[in-house]
Amino acid sequence: MKTAELYVNKRYVIGDISPMMYSSFIEHLGRAVYTGIYQPGHPAADADGFRTDTADAIRDLRVPMIRYPGGNFVSCYDWKDGIGPKEQRPRRLEYAWSSIETNQFGIDEFCRWARKTGVEPMIAVNLGTGSILDAGHLVEYCNHPSGTYWSDLRAKNGSPEPYRVKYWCLGNEMEGSWQAGHLSAEDYTKKALEAAKIMRWVDPDIKLIACGSSYEMLPTYLEWDRIMLDQLLNQVDYLSTHSYTMNAGQGTTNFLAAYKALDTHIKNTRRVIDYVKARKNSDKELGICLDEWNVWNFQDIELKSLDDLLSLTTFKITSAGRWEVAPPILQEKYSLLDALTVGGLAISLLKNADSVKIACLAQLVNVIAPITTAPDGGILRQATYYPFRTVSELGHGAVLDTRVTAPTYACQFGETPIVEPVAVLNDETGELNVFVLNCDPDSDVRLTLTGEETYRLARHQALYGNDLTAINTFSQPDRVTMRELPVDGGLAATLPRMSWSALTYRKA
């Protein structure tokens, strides 16, 4: 058995974990909304048509905030199509995903669902085909108390009290050629600036999130952020970026080590923020909003690697025809290996807690999601459900700046320690929670905690198994789940080979 040592000292802190670190995302895409969170007539549906079984699973995940309605969808979306009497709402061609949008679920339904489910809404406005005035009207519809056309229309539509939506995204991935209304950095900056002015005139208390660079392979990567922030730094509160990890035949250990790439991606975003602040001699606090992150293997999209996004304008989907209502697309089947990788990505998020203030797992239900619903049945918790739930439950407090001593292995990111840990100290409970990935394919690792404080290991939960391709199904829903491992009350834990663990320590 190999050995490793983790040094912790509560005086060395990276940063406090934001409550919004464990947020998620629901787009009008595939079955995320229809038959996902909303399905009138389903046995588990409430009087509003919201699926209570899905809502219960979301509460179990402890998701604090959800981004809506997109995503690529938002760049062709007219939010006014989704309000008012349902029998009068238009059916539209939804261009981004080649489907039919019935508009039976819109901003009113989402905000009511969010309140019932106990999550805060984060709304994206259409800065692709939409206008800056449309953005202002949407804020007015959602947040203005009464006495104006849009606020009174909200009341007429059944919601006299304002929704008080605090977080607003200024478009989605506007630097991408696949985005409807794609803009250059200069043109996006002009449009976003004018939208921000109007939106804040309506409600000066809102928080605004600007589109940053989404993907490294794009020629405008980081240069987009530099150009845009030069004008928008003092007008916005967060800079958005996206990061997906794809298993594209690079090998198991390289895929598992994707947390290294996410760490670099986040730090690059932080560097461009710091560069602009330095040039402008500004002390403005600007948080990173990683409002899309996940493993996405493009199982039903003709895409060999994320590099194929370059110059892409159309996604070719193999799992459904064109112009279907709520087609079963992007319904990834997540394996144990995918779940381990998600756990590693979560470790990188926490290690950047000083920069990342919002992070949204994309997405939440049916579409590249930890939760799958059966239209005529119940729900399934996919393999990726478990590391996300574990870290959202235990990952609260201050992230410590730790040091690990361990054997290394060779991967595409260079010589890398076989274990990747992060330690979180919760002052309220006094617990020290360590999340750790063991990347060794052949050996268990005995990890010993060292430092000035004396702790004892109180609990060890682990995600592991002999079959890395194992998935959860409705007939076998618990093939991949967190397992309790025995502890001896000491300082050491045995990490199974190819595993992700949550270790809970208490003061001795």
Question: Catalytic residues, which ones?
Answer: 173, 292
For residue 185, which phi and psi values (nearest 5 degrees)?
-60, -40
Consecutive H or E run containing 158? none
Q: What is the DSSP string of 407-445?
A: -EEEETTEEEESEEEEEEE-TTT--EEEEEEE--SS--E
Yes or no: say if 323 and 100 are a contact pair by the CB < 8 Å rule: yes
Alpha-carbon separation of residue 388 from 14, 358, 471, 498 (angstroms): 21, 15, 16, 17
Yes or no: say if 250 and 204 are a contact pair by the CB < 8 Å rule: no
- Two tokens, residue 332: 């990834």
Residue 9: partners with Cβ closer than 8 Å, 6 or more residues away: 400, 451, 452, 453
Yes or no: say if 4 and 448 are a contact pair by the CB < 8 Å rule: yes
- Two tokens, residue 273: 């923020």
Which residue, 452, 390, 454, 444, is CA-closest to 422?
Answer: 390
Yes or no: say if 224 and 185 are a contact pair by the CB < 8 Å rule: yes
